[in-house]
Amino acid sequence: MNDRPEEACGIFGVVAPGREVSRLTFFALFALQHRGQESAGIAVDDDGHLTTIKDMGLVSQVFKEETLRSLSGQAAIGHTRYSTTGSTRWANAQPVCHSRNGHTLALAHNGNIINTAELRELMGPYGVKYSSTSDSELLAALIAMNPARDIRDAVAGSIPKIKGAFSVVILYEGAVVGFRDPWGIRPLCIGRLDDGNYAIASESCGLDIIGAEFVQEIEPGQMAIITEKNLELKQVVPPADRQGLCIFEFIYFARPDSVLEGMTISEARQRMGEELAREYPVEADMVIPVPDTGTPAAIGFARESGIPYGEGLIKNRYVGRTFIQPDQSLRQHGIRVKLNPLASLIKGKRLVVVDDSIVRGNTTGKIVRMLFDAGAKEVHMRISSPPITHPCFYGIDTSTSTELIASTKTVAQIRDLVGATSLEYISLEGLQRAVGMPAERFCRACFTGNYPVEVPAGAKMSKHRFEQVEKEPVA
């Protein structure tokens, strides 16, 4: 099991007649691969004819040169998935498609819907047959069944019915529509290509790779409609009184080179490391990161503390997600498939090891043991997020508190379990200082239990909650 909070998905959309939109989408998804590695898909509209190709695996595994050549058209959307509702299987790959007024609508979704039972009941009279067990197909059906003739009105009429986290792109009749929940939980931004056309992406790194200039973020509750060389923005619902951008975008999810809320993610993470060094100083010989997401914070810690920075753990950057399981002898090596200690550098050293988070504690314990086995004299763990004590219902795969080691154990108990010389987490106040924005702008429920969007009483939020009903008719 991975010891990281896993996020939902990366999404992208573009309208660019005369350009190879499937190729633009491929590279954008390639840049957004960190947001999900289970499946990938692209839907292309060619003069009203929509073609979708999706499969399990990484973007580069799903799409080959001949596949992209076959996906010609003027507009496209794409998706790379990590599952938070619905199991890991082909039927749950996106984009999802649904018939609307004799045309095909394709939808890609990042987030998690919490009023799915209510929406399924609402869709009951339409007799919708679901082919997947994801909440994203439910969104597609909701918008497709809306009686409004114009897709803008259909989306605008559907958004107020949806509760939870949703950043979405839709491809319909040559236009791409992007919209974001009124709490702004998941990011979504707009870029302009050099030919005057527009694109929408989960993060600015998905725009950078195709040479698009960042224009703006889609605001909470806002809808963006892109057609040929045209961008239309509409505030569909008012922003929620309490905003809820997931603060883990700054800690872990977003790529270090992305810009969010006007700040480069790497800059925010370095500030987290600086705060950690001020809050929990330690005498040590070297600061090393758990690569790659711990690297910026480790740089900040080293800079603030004056302790030299080094690379004591080497990451195999070609591991990714694989469907090939190691045999028993390889399985015993565990974490070494991904990380290997540089023994000549760390032997006899007092190490500060900086990581972004501890979810379950299993991987952290293995890293600590590996460093001691390689000759480290002391291992002082420093974590650039506060302890994760509460589950997330908005698109992070921690829907139950039993998965979270900090929900039942103190910092001292966790330190003893992972075997570190010392263990300290950044304070919530220190984290907020690092991002430089008020706490009211963020969802921090995984640290505080204070949720911006109330989860319906008795709601079943397991990622497999639709599995048992997938073959049953909707009531």
- Which positions are annotated as active-site residues? 9
Reduced DSSP (H G I as helix, E B as strand, rest coil) percent helix, strand, coil of the chain, to 5:
30, 25, 45
Return the residue matching tokens 């829907």: 399
Helix (H) or strand (E) holding 198: strand 198-201
Long-range contacts, stretch 230-236, CB < 8 angstroms, 24+ apart: 230/198, 231/190, 231/192, 231/198, 234/152, 234/156, 236/155, 236/156, 236/159, 236/160, 236/179
Instruction: Read off the tokens for 301.
Output: 């810690």
Identity at 238, one-letter amino acid code = P
* Long-range contact pairs involving 445-451 (C-beta distance under 8 Å, separation at least 24): 445/390, 445/392, 446/5, 446/248, 446/388, 446/389, 446/390, 446/391, 446/392, 446/396, 446/398, 447/385, 447/386, 447/387, 447/388, 447/389, 447/390, 448/390, 449/389, 449/390, 451/393
Q: Are 378 and 351 in contact (CB under 8 A)?
A: yes
Q: Which residues of 336-364 are buried (b: 16+ CB within 10 A; e: fewer)?
A: eebbebeeebbeebbbbbbbbbbbbbbbb
Residues in CB range of 365: below 8 A, 6 or more apart:
417, 418, 419
State both tokens at 5.
Answer: 């909070």
d(CA 61, CA 83): 18
